[in-house]
Structure 1
Amino acid sequence: MKGRLIGLAMLMVLAGCDGQAPKADSETDTGLVDDGKADCMTGSAKQWARDCLVERRGDTLTIRHPDGGFRRFRVLADGRGLESADGAEPATLSITGKRQIDVAAGDDRYRLPAQIADTVK
């Protein structure tokens, strides 16, 4: 989109600020189920599965894989989204829906809800 900046203001609704996962039957205004999990494709997986657990404590987001592995990200206060934490492989973000982003780091991919703001320059 020429002349437009897409700003990402992360609204991680998968886990509250207190680190507790919400009830499994709750639904957010994104229309996505807010059950403390994220769709992910980790390692050599060939299909998306909703089996990664999401924890948020302050500006740190940890996504735990079903095999025991995990990735840790930092939620950026400037609205750009996420960055890899702990010296991990860099994260790349792409908008995949009206209120959803894909986050890729190494061989792992995650679909997360996000508040996406359009701003005209």
Structure 2
Amino acid sequence: MAGWKGAAWIAPMLLLAGCEQAPDNQTLAEAEARGAQAAAANGRIDCALEGAKLFDRDCSLQEISGPEGTVLLVGRDNVGYRRLLITKDGRGVIAADGAEEAKVAIVGDGLIEVTVGPDRYRLPANTGGGK
């Protein structure tokens, strides 16, 4: 029993040590933004289509240059695609087809979430005001 009493303090100390290792939210946000940028460079982005609650990295992203500017083609084969025009006035993107309005929100450093109807897309973006 003497050995057990001497070691009884180890479990609480391990629990406390685990609590001190809480993840840094800024570090996590930066890692998520880097992951999103790398995925977008490979033509993949996170999306939640048709009202889905969770995001999956299973949508494609393609840039197309046109007379009106750069258009992003985002979506998935079995659901469909949306065209988003990159704006030059700081709004980020707008719906290029005009069917439904695109709503843009900054969700992290270098990451925006675009909602069009029931579909949401996470896209890399310059969110630092020209950094």
Q: CA deviation at 1:80?
A: 1.9
Distance 1:38 1:52 in 2: 5
Match of 1:42 among 49, 56, 59: 49
Match of 2:116 among 98, 105, 111: 105
Q: CA deviation at 1:77?
A: 1.9
Unmatched segments (≥5 aa) in structure 2: 1-32
Larger radius of gyration: 2
Aligned to 1:117: 128
Match of 1:82 among 65, 82, 93: 93
Would the aligned equivalents of 1:93 and 1:103 in 2 still touch at CA under 8 Å? yes
Which structure has greater strand proportion? 1
Aligned pairs for 1:1-121 within 5 A: 31-32=34-35, 33=38, 34-58=41-65, 59-118=70-129
Q: CA deviation at 1:44?
A: 3.7
Would the aligned equivalents of 2:101 and 2:116 in 1 still touch at CA under 8 Å? yes
> Could you say which structure has the greater relative contact order, defined with CA pairs below 8 angstroms and 6 or more residues apart?
1
Which structure has greater helix proportion? 2
When the two structures are aligned, how many residues end up with a matched partner? 90
RMSD after superposition: 1.7
TM-score w.r.t. the length of structure 1 is 0.67
